[in-house]
Amino acid sequence: MPELPEVETVVRDLRPLVAGRTVTAVRVGAKRLRTPWDAAWNARLVGARVDAVGRRGKWIVLELSQEPLPPTPSPGKGRGAGSKPPPFPGEGVGGEVSSGARLLVHLGMTGQFTASPAADPPPDHLHLVFALDDRTELRFRDVRRFGSARYFADAAGLDAHFAAAKLGPEPFGLDAAYFRDAVRRTARPLKAVLLDQTVVAGVGNIYADEALFRAGLHPGLKGNRVPPAAVDRLREAVEAVLTAAVAGRGSTIRDYVGGSGLRGGYQHAHAVYGRTGEPCPACGSPIECVRLAGRSSHFCGGCQPSVFSRQPGKTKPRAAGISKRRARGPRAES
């Protein structure tokens, strides 16, 4: 489910709900996630306080600390009137961060990470529960179990994890020269480049298609055949579509909910994703769907030509080996 806008929405929802709270218990389901949960982490987490909630790419990062609590919080009470407001690091994981422990969560395809009243009946497919000191629970639910959660004793461990994955830069304020080089040095299709988390972190199948539509670029175009100015357009389109999607609280196709359990709303604004056969909102041509980088890729044949007709003599990328798919696609939730 979750691309950057969905993950960002979860993070923004959770921040005021869990920042400053202390973990009082950890419960682990029987079925294993992509990364098996180490039972030794439970003892490290109990008593830890959530200092901050952030995001890196599609990863959710909780910053934790083990400082001794003031006297004793009386559970059940709301936030004390005189108590210091919890720290709100607006910019996710960058900037000034503590060197303490980290909880790293990835939602996979169907993961849900919510703060819920402990009294709410537990849903099915619930795999991890972090009870908090205000009678709420952080709950990780994931039908397909492609998601993962793991604990790092310190910030360096988390950094090493991202470094090992070669996680690329955030898409906001992305360096233009860097992106031009990354795109133009490869023969892979643009769609594959956008999905590559080592190039840019956070873009997934929905927003790759939407960004390519905004930029007027065919998803099958080889990176090294795309003029620099067009790559710049693509970079701006990525930023624009992600910004709009965050404002719309992400896209709910089926499973996605934000940190408070609310569905997203941006699926109604999709121009091409999941709209195979429907008319293009810009030119009316039917939206087409092909398979690229192993994923369905939706585009408008009218607005996103597979060749650059401007310089017919020079640039002539062929649409190469793309098979049309049935004129049918997943429809967004009603």
Partner DNA sequence: TCGGCCCTGGGG
Partner DNA sequence: CCCCAGGGCCGA
204 binds DNA (CB under 7 A): yes
Among 27, 184, 233, 295, binds DNA (CB under 7 A): 295
By C-beta, is 314 or 326 nearer to DNA?
326
Q: Which helix (H) or strand (E) holds 63?
A: strand 59-65
- Do the bridges between strand 148-152 and strand 102-106 make them parallel or antiparallel, or are there none, so unpaired? antiparallel
| In the complex, least distance from residue 7 CB atom to DNA, rounded to whole angstroms | 9
131 or 257: CB nearest DNA: 257
Q: Judged by CB under 7 A, does residue 31 bind DNA? A: yes
Q: Considering beta carbons, is residue 49 or 218 the nearer one to DNA?
A: 218
Residue 133 CB, nearest approach to DNA (Å): 31
Q: Which stretch binds DNA (CB under 7 A): 21-29, 227-235, 245-253, 312-320?
A: 245-253
Q: Does 152 bind DNA (CB under 7 A)?
A: no
Cβ atoms of 4 and 171 closer than 8 Å: yes
Q: If we measure between CA atoms, which residue out of 2, 12, 4 comes closest to residue 242? A: 4
* Nearer to DNA among residue 314 and residue 324 (C-beta): 324
Q: Could you say which DSSP state residue 165 is in?
A: T
Q: How far apart are CA 158 and CA 94, in angstroms?
A: 13
Catalytic residues: 2-3, 58, 295
Residue 293 is a binding residue for DNA (CB under 7 A)? yes
List residues near DNA by CB under 7 A.
Answer: 1-3, 6, 31, 34, 57-58, 106, 108-110, 124-125, 143-146, 165, 186-189, 192, 195, 197, 204-206, 251-256, 293-296, 325, 328-330
